[in-house]
Amino acid sequence: MSEKITILEIKDLMDKLLEATHPLAETHPEVDKKYHFVRVIEGFYRRNHFTLLAIRYLADAPALADSAVVLARKMTEDVISIEYMLLVPNNLNYYVI
């Protein structure tokens, strides 16, 4: 049987994730043009890192839970977009940044 996780434990895990990945959100790797998809993924990550940060702050105010859910949905849509790009590799050339 699985153990239930509390809101405080989720917030703590989010804080640890944000702290560990903050340097990744601030860097901009130099990649060859043939690796432009890496830059697309980096852009998604950078945007979602700060979206996750916003969700974490919204988690402190239960009245703002709807806003947190909307942001989480946007992050989920980004993941679906990346999955689609990986499934349809011919479209990767379209996503040049």
Distance from chain centroid for Cα 75:
6
Domain boundaries along the sequence of the chain: 7-22+30-95
d(CA 75, CA 53): 12
Which pLDDT belongs to residue 97? 46
Query: 37-94, pLDDT tens digit by residue?
Result: 777 777 788 888 888 899 888 888 888 888 988 998 988 888 888 888 778 766 555 5
Which pLDDT belongs to residue 34? 66
Which pLDDT belongs to residue 16? 92
Give the pLDDT band (50/70/90) at residue 1: very low
| Contact call for residues 44 and 82 (beta carbons, < 8 A) | yes
pTM over 0.85: no
